[in-house]
Structure 1
Amino acid sequence: MGIANKSKPINAASIKRNFVLNLLNTVTALLFPLITFPYASRILFAEGIGRVQFFLSIIDYITLCTALGIPLYAVREIARVRDDTVLRSKTTTEILLLHALLTLAGYGVVLLLAFTIAKIEVDVPLFLLLSATLFFNAIGVAWFYQAIEDFKYITIRTLIVRVVSLVALFVFVKNRNDLFYYAAILVIANVGSNVFNFFRLRKYILFIPWKELNLWKHLKPALRIFILNLMISIYVNLDSIMLGFLKDEQAVGFYTAATRVTKAVIGIVSSLGMVLLPRFSNMISNRQ
């Protein structure tokens, strides 16, 4: 693929349609754990669910740090230049490579925790399996498809992966010894579809020579967003981590069940914001 000197605008769907599609995606994301949780908790008990949730809460913090505010920052930046093929390709490649480098550093932290923290050492394979979330988030470029407002693709591929994951849960998770299968299905349901995102990216971007890239210019603005995301994450995830260290996995399991529904409303409210951000960013860049 060579670099073209022409723009290739991306036609975005209406905001109403995007909102409905994103809302559908959000609702299915909320329904999946509500459907699977009663079955999984009956098979794996509070201790098994609690162990997975405890490890996931730690992985979520590492994911947050390696992402460094990139998902939200990238939506804004790609939306601004999405009508210019070269700028779109250059910005996407820079952000993708920056995220990949940060993810490598994140895996260093994963290995350090896996072999130094007693509560993690009891089940290192499970912790490492859940850390696959880092990899899938790095290659997933979900922010790109949000920026170009391709919510139809996002919704369809996510629905397919979640349905397959739901079937896999009932097929493979049969007793307490299947905790590893449960964790793998959970990872696939949440971020497994990101593999398709990565390969489909070739449809939208061109090859940009390394010498023309400037990864580090995105670091400072993304860091500002990261600080805001960190404050939100402390409210959302720190409770499970603290409970896991202060008590045990069983307590985390019971707590997860109690908070599952209350956190559902947040996703519904925020779904409109994810639809408006790319559209407004693009309009501002076009002086509209």
Structure 2
Amino acid sequence: MRKNLLQSFASLGLVQLINYVFPLITIPYVSRIIGPEGYGIINYATAFVAYFNILISYGFDYTATRRIAADPDSLGTVFSEVLTARIYLFLISTVLFIISLFIFTPLSDHKTVAVIVFCSCLSTCLTPQYVFQGLQYLNIFAFTNFIRGLLNCLLILLLIKQADDFIVLPLINLVLGVGISLFLIVFAILKFRIKFHFVQFKKVWKLLIEERMMYLSSFVVSIYTTTNIIVLGFFATNAEVGYYTTAQSLIFIVINVINLPLSTVLFPYISKSFSNDQEEGLNVLRSILPVLIYILTFVGILIYFLAPFSIHLIYGNKFDNAIGPLKILAFLPLISMINTFLGIQTMLNLKMDKDFFNVTAMAALIGFSLNLLLSSQFGFMGTSYSYLLIEIFVFAALYITLLKRNVNLLLADKFTPNAMINIIKRIVFK
């Protein structure tokens, strides 16, 4: 099991790293052509459409993964229920998006970009990520991400030649995203002999009610992660939105290279440990978490001190104003990873969905208010501080909530050098 776990993480981690090597080739090229304003337009539309992606996803990548990991024989049923539910949710999202086009000025000013970005929700609707996660069959999933990164790099270099070509970026993402999702869903059906049947609306509605806590938690989290961009758009220019989203994008690269593979690989493994014995699952988390904290603390230090060099090298001098936000968010990957372990990896596996939602709902309320205040007063720098402060609040709230249930993942003896060596040996050599 540990060998498979290590191989899965190494595979996903390597592919994610390669996927973000490609942008290191294309971003210096694109940023010098489209500039901060072009990035601001695209990233604003992406942030707005993120709400619809969350609705369509509905947290199934966690809840369906958990169901399949616990009972692989339920694969066909889970697949049919999730795909049917997501089709309904996509249709609802389409209606809501059309209405939004006529209400929100930043979207109506750039309708073409907004429509293209929204159409990428088809990828979220179709992707069977939960199937591969639940069965811990991640190699094909990682490989397709690599192919997508390679094609994305080639198409950008071939098609983007002038500032007005910024619209090509979301178009490329749409074509590749939907194409890869179609391939994955066909591959999953053939590989695992899944028989899809369209589920009745009554049963879909029951599923949506049962899984609502995970969706609501994802939605409220977006209020203090994605809404910051939406709010900033009302107080700042497209260029200023571009400065902030540039810094946030670099931080998300680190999160996607390290945190995302960990979450994808570990969630079904940890879920299975919890299904065997609760204390076994907690001990796995207590052993792994300190190693990751040390690694991501070092990563945060590097991000902070290399911020000026990174911005100049990747984006050019036009993006100098992104250096400040990048320094402020330098330790976000560390805090985000801890919050993922405390919330998703621990609370969800302990069936503390409601507690997780309560924390994230409180964070959303405080985060939105804080973001509104700081963004209006200090622009994109205020947005950066707001994001950091609310993630720190989430950490404190999750940790205290777990302590009240007599669950403590941060044990001092697990942070000693000997403990570090032992856990690495167990993962690598057993």
State yes or no: 1:262 paired with 2:248: no
Q: Which residue of 2 aligns with 1:7?
A: none
**Structure 1 residue 32, shift from structure 2 partner:** 4.1
Amino acid aligned to 1:186: N
State yes or no: 1:124 paired with 2:114: no
Q: Which residue of 2 aligns with 1:179?
A: 166
Q: Which residue of 1 aligns with 2:370?
A: none
What TM-score, normalized to structure 2? Answer: 0.59
Q: Structure 2 regions of 5+ residues with no counterpart?
A: 281-430
CA distance in 2 between counterparts of 1:173 and 1:128 reads: 19
Q: 1:14 to 1:117 in 2, by over 3 A?
A: same
Q: 1:222 to 1:211 in 2, by over 3 A?
A: closer
Query: 1:50, 1:250 within 8 Å by CA — same for their partners in 2?
Result: yes
Q: Deviations over 1:209-261 (max 9, x none)?
A: 75799323321342111232233323322222111121121111111222332
Query: 2:70, 2:272 within 8 Å by CA — same for their partners in 1?
Result: yes
Q: 1:212 to 1:62 in 2, by over 3 A?
A: closer
Q: 1:105 to 1:123 in 2, by over 3 A?
A: same
Q: For residues 1-288 of structure 1, what are the structure 2 equivalents within 5 Å?
A: 14-82=4-72, 84=73, 87-188=74-175, 192-203=179-190, 204=192, 205-208=194-197, 210=199, 214-267=203-256, 268-282=258-272
CA distance in 1 between counterparts of 2:160 and 2:239 reads: 19
**Structure 1 residue 12, shift from structure 2 partner:** 11
Q: 1:51 to 1:155 in 2, by over 3 A?
A: same
Q: 1:282 to 1:93 in 2, by over 3 A?
A: farther
CA distance in 2 between counterparts of 1:215 and 1:32 reads: 40
Q: Which residue of 1 aligns with 2:283?
A: none
Query: 2:12, 2:138 within 8 Å by CA — same for their partners in 1?
Result: yes
Q: Which residue of 2 aligns with 1:5?
A: none
Taking every aligned residue pair, what percent have the same amino acid on both sides?
23
Q: 1:242 to 1:35 in 2, by over 3 A?
A: farther
CA distance in 2 between counterparts of 1:28 and 1:201 reads: 24
**Structure 1 residue 144, shift from structure 2 partner:** 1.4
Alignment size in residue pairs: 275
Q: 1:169 to 1:275 in 2, by over 3 A?
A: same
Amino acid aligned to 1:259: Q
Q: Deviations over 1:32-89 (max 9, x none)?
A: 444432221111111111100000000012211232222211111122222x2xx210
Amino acid aligned to 1:241: I
Amino acid aligned to 2:66: R
CA distance in 1 between counterparts of 2:24 and 2:224 reads: 21
Q: 1:285 to 1:109 in 2, by over 3 A?
A: same
Q: Deviations over 1:5-47 (max 9, x none)?
A: xxxxxx9971111111121233244444444322211111111
**Structure 1 residue 273, shift from structure 2 partner:** 2.6
**Structure 1 residue 194, shift from structure 2 partner:** 1.1
Name the SS for the 1:149 alignment partner: coil
Q: Deviations over 1:138-179 (max 9, x none)?
A: 011222112111211011111011101100000000001212
Query: 1:40, 1:49 within 8 Å by CA — same for their partners in 2?
Result: no
Q: Which residue of 2 aligns with 1:6?
A: none
Amino acid aligned to 2:30: A
Q: 1:207 to 1:250 in 2, by over 3 A?
A: closer
More helix by share: 2
Q: Structure 1 regions of 5+ residues with no counterpart?
A: 1-10
Q: 1:109 to 1:271 in 2, by over 3 A?
A: same
Q: Which residue of 1 aligns with 2:425?
A: none
Name the SS for the 2:103 alignment partner: coil
CA distance in 1 between counterparts of 2:35 and 2:238 reads: 10
CA distance in 2 between counterparts of 1:64 and 1:276 reads: 21
CA distance in 1 between counterparts of 2:147 and 2:86 reads: 26
What TM-score, normalized to structure 1? Answer: 0.85
